[in-house]
Amino acid sequence: MRLHEIAKLVGAVLEEGVPDLEIKGVASLMEARSGDLTFFGNPRYLAQLRASVASAAIVPMECQETVAPILLRVANPSVAFATIVAAFAPVEVVPAPGIHPSAVVSPEALLGEGVSVGALVVIDDGVEIGAGTVIESGCVIAHGVRLGVNCRLYPNVTVRERCILGDRVIVQPGAVIGSCGFGYEFQEGHHQKIPQTGIVEIEDDVEIGANTTIDRARFGRTVIGQGSKIDNLVQIAHNVQVGSHTIICAQVGVAGSTRIGSYVTLAGQVGLAGHLEIGDKAIIGAQSGLSKNVPSGSMVIGAPAKPMKEWKQTNFYISQLHKLFERVKELEKLVEK
């Protein structure tokens, strides 16, 4: 694409008289070469922008740096760059509507218009699938499942019996929706399984990452709220409630019956005990361990989790312990003298 075409695409402001270069690709600040376009949106990467050999860079409106790349100023560099990347990306391959000959589809299943069913898919009795939904190879859709319109299930997804997925839900490869909750009673010297009779309900516009597991409720529903995004390798236990537009990053584990509000962020490897309440817009830092409720709007981190300010202060004091130790040794010598 030509540079001026890109500027028009994202509404970028170009300085007068800049050449209309041919841009051959997009890349990060460190990886970009001559002919590439890159983006700069965080001041911590300013040194990388100054060292970049890219031909052009998407930058914030307020950026006034004098650097080698030609600057395209926009209100939101990340969003603009995503639009440009999409323009350069290969066209996504979407399977054509129809049922692959190797798929096993129950005659009692109801498939909407334009549904695509890939190779070796199994669709059981009583399943309802909305128009335009794509189910790729190796998926298993169990008895009584309902899928909304324009969903996309990538290969080897399992959706177990009676679970409900709303419209435009994306499920990445290997995810399991509706596996049994982890419930046992210790009786007569062994662990007796507690029946898990509930379901999982996933609301509209949710995305579920690869190899993530969401357990069905012991009774009632495990719920993932509208617009929430769940990363790879996440475990959501039985009867958990996740609000709308919440972000759950990789390797998070949420124990049973915990309630997570809307617009919450759980960073990577966070662990939540059961029966907790996480308020709206709370942010839980990476590798935090929570055993207590978190109020709305809080920012906590650590194991056990503490308010961010307290955690930073504690870490500072810990980092100074060696100095305190040396000082005590010197004081002991003075006392001995």
Exposed, middle or buried by CB within 10 Å (0-12, 13-18, 19+), for 147?
buried
Q: Note every long-range contact of 147-154, with CB atoms under 8 Å and residues 24 or more positions apart, other chains counting.
A: 148/204, 149/112, 154/210
Which is catalytic among the residues 4, 100, 191, 238? 238
CA angle 303, 308, 311 (to 5 degrees): 55
Q: What are phi and psi of 219, to 5 degrees?
A: -150, 155
The string of DSSP letters for 262-326 reads TT-EE-TT-EE-TT-EE-TT-EE-TT-EE-S-B-TT-EEETTTTEEHHHHHHHHHHHHTHHHHHH
Residue 238 falls in the annotated catalytic set: yes
| Rounded Cα–Cα distance for residues 192 and 57 (Å) | 61
| Cβ-proximal residues to 72 (8 Å cutoff; 6+ apart), any chain | 3, 6, 7, 10, 12, 13, 14, 37, 56, 57, 58, 59, 80
Q: Which residues are catalytic?
A: 238
